[in-house]
Structure 1
Amino acid sequence: MKNTFLLICILFFSISAYSQDFQFNVDELTFNSEREKIAFIDYQEDSTSFLNLLVEIGNTENSISEQATDKLNQLFATLEKLKVRDKKPKKQVQIIYKEVHNKLFTKYIENISFYKIFTDGEYNCATATSIYALVLDHFSIPYAIKKTPNHVYLQAYPNAENITMESTSPNNGFRFYSDKTKENLVNTLLENKLVSKSEVNTKGINAVFDEYFFKDENIAYRNLISILYSNEGFKDMGNEDYKMALSALQKGYSIYPNKLYEEVIVNLNLQILSEQDEYSLEYAKQIVYLSRYLGYNNGLKSEDFSSEFNSFQNEYMIKKQDTATYKEIYTVFQQIEDSVILDKINFDHYYVLAYNYYENKLFEKALATCQKALVLQPQNSEIYKVALNSCVDIILSQYTNNLTERIVFIEDQKIQYPFLEDELKLELLILDAQLNLAFEYILKKDLTSAKKHISDFETVFDPKVHYGIPKQNVVALYDHLGMLYFKRRQTTSAKKAFLKGLSYYPNTYSLEQKIGFL
């Protein structure tokens, strides 16, 4: 069953266009602490206040918000004493750069959380850039945050002095695209004929990757915070903690929607799915969660989800006959929001359930369930057969001899289940009941009651259509009817009865003989 999703081509970028962003509610995001959740919500409401959020990203320890604020205020005080505001741009940046390193930075670590700057002096290009931005904001110095495929840095006085502020290790910070990932992405470009093979051979995979997907671009501080979250996620991926990675990427994406993260989020969900026990409730929940990403990943198809549901049906309804667990699974799949997938799942559910009821001789439940299935697929012949057979079996098991109730039951079923209205099998069962009731009343010499059922019979009966009604039964009906009239000296009515029988079955000897006698 897992192969459905594991065979999907997992790439960290989608070439196709997207119509809308993912939407994550705060309640479905996982936070390291209540502090982080509060800071996250506060930032969403006021993006000018972000230090409290920065120090919570990746922080599973005690709060350091006050400690961070104190250290920054000390740094600002030092810079004020050095009269940074009065300096020329180049000198300003030199002083700020030097003091930030002296006061806050001790060791460059490629994958490190922002809060570590204030606890251990550890930083990387993304966290260092965040600090530079905080300081420049404090002194009202204009800047632009720049991003390359593998690096983030800050440029003070953009479009003027353009002073670059780098971290200690500018070539290694913010790196999360492996060589294999780059190769996969470039192969996708080749398959879609967006680049030529000769171009790849000439420039190399790295150059084509950088040229096509990224250029140095200006990003907002919101984007930088998103990068800090994504760095946490990629660090967790390296540790194979995919649930934590997913949590971080979702938060980063909520801060700043990014098409690259969309694809990573989808594939993290696929990875988490692959780790679930097959046919477990958690596996079902993960599949349902994945359905929200239809349209964001070309590898996810509507039929994949209904196919997964069918696998659960086969496991629990057919192999194990565990209807209780199956109903739990079905309830989980009901959370899928895509109406096309949900309709297919519901039809398959009703079909299997109806068949199960039918096999266990629960014909009334089978029929009612078939009706639900036929609402979704009115032309489905297989479910119609189950519905019809259920109705017929109810009649045969409960109304074989009670002919009057049989007629009432069938007419009620036609009203309740309109798809049975013109069903020949049911017409035959009604005609059979009417014929036999009429015959019973003739034998009782109750012509009034007999004539009512004969009238109903004649309104519908056509021997060319209703050949399931035995000829001899019809002939016997009119033979006995005619003889009853004859014994009552009603020869005209007797003759009409014999002729009516002959209209259905001409050249019937017994009827012709009696007309000849008359």
Structure 2
Amino acid sequence: MELGYNSVFEKEQFEHYALDKPNKDFITVLLAIDSTMTFEKSNEIKMEIDDYLIGLKERIDRYNSKKKVKYIFNKVHDRFFRKYELDAYFPDIFESATYNCVSGTALYAYAFDFFGVPYQIKETPIHVFLVAYPQEYNILVETTLPGKAGSYVPSESMMKRAVDELVDLKIYTAEQVSSIGYNKAYNDYYYGDENITKKDLVGIQYYNKGIIFLNDSKFELAYENMLKSSVVYKNKKTEIFNEGVLSLLMDQVDFSDIENFKWLVSYAKISDDTDYLKYKLHNILSNENWEEDNLERVESKLNKIYDLKLRNELLVVLYSYEAERAHKYQRTSEALMYAEKIYKISPDDIDAKNYIALAEIEKMALKNVSAIRLVELDELLEKYPFLEEFGIYQRYQVYLYSFLAANSFHNNKNDAAQGYLLQLEGILGDENRESTDFDHRAIGEAYGEAGAYFYRNGQKESAINILNRGMKFSPENENIKRKIRLIKKSY
């Protein structure tokens, strides 16, 4: 699914930043989440930030590392932040001085870059914060706490007390702490080894927006924002969120609108629940309000699924629906077209074989009956070897050989007629006779003409014998019985 953008500005800035293009701008892409943002407005905000930081530079240069961080923290907080709100976004800082941990951390990251202060960005399941001078002092920068509490270096006594509590909680053993030291034990637990990037902050902002929309049951908007988040924020939770939201959308979306089919394709790209997807697709296809060309658009959309196995399984559902529908409306050529598509994907599909057998034999049965049909039947069997398994193929063979035998006897072509009759009797063997309903009228015609041929040639005994052969395969056949009665009366 393509990313949905709120504005041309957002599209340009987000894609520019996501692709790591030259001159990508951290502040501008953070502002792009606002649908009313423009390049001119974002430029003004960036200049406002830069001008303020330039004004701090002369004094900052006088401070040592710890005081520098404290000074930057307090000045930025006093100038830009007034109210903490959980659902605030970066542009809100400049509209109402409202911020949260993500937007606040992003602005401090920009300021630290501006002043050359080394830092790391840390993430917990529900929070982000910074650590300045991580190799020297581990200065915690907590954006949600203004004043003295917002920036501090943990003391030795504080670290020892915290680690001792971790030992009491059995998170560390005393031996582990003795081996690595209190400082490292504290840093490993509270700060961790993993850091996130400024690009992750951009993604987390969209992630948080997705959560807000989810809580408001606006599932489409939730997914669109989470999808953007996952482009720049590589985190397992975005995948879990995406699948969860899409599963909700599967039950909420009105699929009578073909435009909404994109949600099933999106779900198919991330879910391994093939049975559910096949079930859902069949339900969607069964919508009677759809226009004819919608099914063509569905095929096009399904072909965009990356997983070949899943794509083929869903295409089989589509083609099976199309073939069944065409068959019900007796559109033979259309049913055959879709059945062949299924057969190409899944040669063992019994429905595809059935539709092919029905369509191909029906097409052949509509043609004039002649010996050329035998050649065509052999060619068809070479193309579709499975045809021999189907009753319609055997019934057509019986009909064809019966007609050819009857016609040959009628025209006094005994050798050809006998050959056709032997082929017919091979098909009418005991095994086939029990499992297939043949055209007994055609059988009656074949043996009736055979009896008539021998009778005309004065071979009454041969006539009776060949008619009795026919009775073995069609015991209740009135045509054969009548011919036997007539010949016997002539004795």
- The answer to whether the superposition gives a TM-score over 0.5 is yes
Residue 49 and residue 360 in structure 1: after superposition, are their counterparts in 2 closer, same or farther (change >3 A)? closer
Higher mean C-alpha deviation, range 245-254 or range 329-338: 329-338
SS at match of 2:130: strand
- The Cα shift of 1:357 comes to 3.1
- The Cα shift of 1:115 comes to 2.3
Counterpart among 68, 71, 77 of residue 95 in structure 1: 71
Matched, 1:264 2:241: yes
Q: Aligned partners of 2:16, 2:336: CA distance in 1, in Å?
A: 55
Partners of 2:406 and 2:447 within 8 A in 1: no
Question: Scaled by the length of structure 1, what TM-score is found?
Answer: 0.68
**Which residue of 2 is the match for residue 54 of structure 1?**
30
Q: Aligned partners of 1:67, 1:215: CA distance in 2, in Å?
A: 38
- The Cα shift of 1:421 comes to 4.8
- The Cα shift of 1:472 comes to 6.3
**Which residue of 2 is the match for residue 71 of structure 1?**
48
SS at match of 1:461: helix
Give a deviation string over 1:195-237, Cα, whole Å, max 9, x none.
Answer: xxxx9xxxxxxxxxxxxxx964432222222222323333333
Counterpart among 402, 408, 426 of residue 393 in structure 2: 426
Counterpart among 203, 223, 228 of residue 226 in structure 1: 203
- The Cα shift of 1:72 comes to 2.5
Q: Aligned partners of 1:504, 1:265: CA distance in 2, in Å?
A: 70
**Which residue of 2 is the match for residue 194 of structure 1?**
none
**Which residue of 1 is the match for residue 6 of structure 2?**
32
Matched, 1:129 2:105: yes
Report 1 or 2 for greater relative contact order, CA contacts < 8 Å, sequence distance ≥ 6.
Answer: 1
Q: Aligned partners of 1:294, 1:47: CA distance in 2, in Å?
A: 37
Q: Aligned partners of 1:403, 1:328: CA distance in 2, in Å?
A: 43
Counterpart among 302, 310, 313 of residue 282 in structure 2: 310
Give a deviation string over 1:235-278, Cα, whole Å, max 9, x none.
Answer: 33344444333333222221121111111122233344443225
- The Cα shift of 1:291 comes to 0.8
Partners of 1:406 and 1:430 within 8 A in 2: no
Residue 315 and residue 46 in structure 1: after superposition, are their counterparts in 2 closer, same or farther (change >3 A)? same
- The Cα shift of 1:139 comes to 1.9
**Which residue of 2 is the match for residue 203 of structure 1?**
none
Residue 417 and residue 362 in structure 1: after superposition, are their counterparts in 2 closer, same or farther (change >3 A)? farther
Give a deviation string over 1:38-74, Cα, whole Å, max 9, x none.
Answer: 2223322248741221232335244433322322233
**Which residue of 1 is the match for residue 138 of structure 2?**
162
Higher mean C-alpha deviation, range 496-505 or range 413-422: 496-505
Match of 1:51, as an amino acid?
A: I
**Which residue of 2 is the match for residue 345 of structure 1?**
314
Partners of 2:90 and 2:103 within 8 A in 1: yes
Residue 436 and residue 39 in structure 1: after superposition, are their counterparts in 2 closer, same or farther (change >3 A)? closer
Match of 1:41, as an amino acid?
A: E
Q: Aligned partners of 1:356, 1:234: CA distance in 2, in Å?
A: 42
- The Cα shift of 1:310 comes to 1.5
Q: Aligned partners of 1:429, 1:327: CA distance in 2, in Å?
A: 34
Partners of 2:92 and 2:99 within 8 A in 1: yes
Q: Aligned partners of 1:168, 1:391: CA distance in 2, in Å?
A: 74
- The Cα shift of 1:81 comes to 2.6
SS at match of 1:86: coil
Residue 474 and residue 244 in structure 1: after superposition, are their counterparts in 2 closer, same or farther (change >3 A)? closer
Residue 156 and residue 59 in structure 1: after superposition, are their counterparts in 2 closer, same or farther (change >3 A)? farther
Partners of 1:442 and 1:484 within 8 A in 2: no
RMSD between aligned alpha carbons? 4.0
- The Cα shift of 1:135 comes to 1.7
Match of 2:65, as an amino acid?
A: P
Partners of 1:242 and 1:271 within 8 A in 2: yes
Counterpart among 243, 246, 258 of residue 220 in structure 2: 243
SS at match of 1:58: coil
**Which residue of 1 is the match for residue 62 of structure 2?**
86
Q: Aligned partners of 2:353, 2:240: CA distance in 1, in Å?
A: 42
SS at match of 1:219: coil
Q: Aligned partners of 2:47, 2:261: CA distance in 1, in Å?
A: 49
- Which blocks of at least 5 consecutive residues in structure 2 are unaligned? 147-169, 171-188, 473-479
SS at match of 2:61: helix
SS at match of 1:30: coil
Give a deviation string over 1:152-209, Cα, whole Å, max 9, x none.
Answer: 2222111312222222448xxxxxxxxxxxxxxxxxxxxxxxxxxxx9xxxxxxxxxx
SS at match of 2:136: coil
- Which blocks of at least 5 consecutive residues in structure 1 are unaligned? 1-23, 171-198, 200-213, 296-300, 488-493
Question: Scaled by the length of structure 2, what TM-score is found?
Answer: 0.72
**Which residue of 2 is the match for residue 152 of structure 1?**
128
Match of 1:361, as an amino acid?
A: Q
**Which residue of 1 is the match for residue 178 of structure 2?**
none
Give a deviation string over 1:75-110, Cα, whole Å, max 9, x none.
Answer: 23322231x223211211222122212332233333
Matched, 1:118 2:118: no
Residue 125 and residue 426 in structure 1: after superposition, are their counterparts in 2 closer, same or farther (change >3 A)? closer
Higher mean C-alpha deviation, range 471-480 or range 46-55: 471-480
SS at match of 1:66: helix
Which structure has greater helix proportion? 2
Partners of 1:273 and 1:283 within 8 A in 2: no
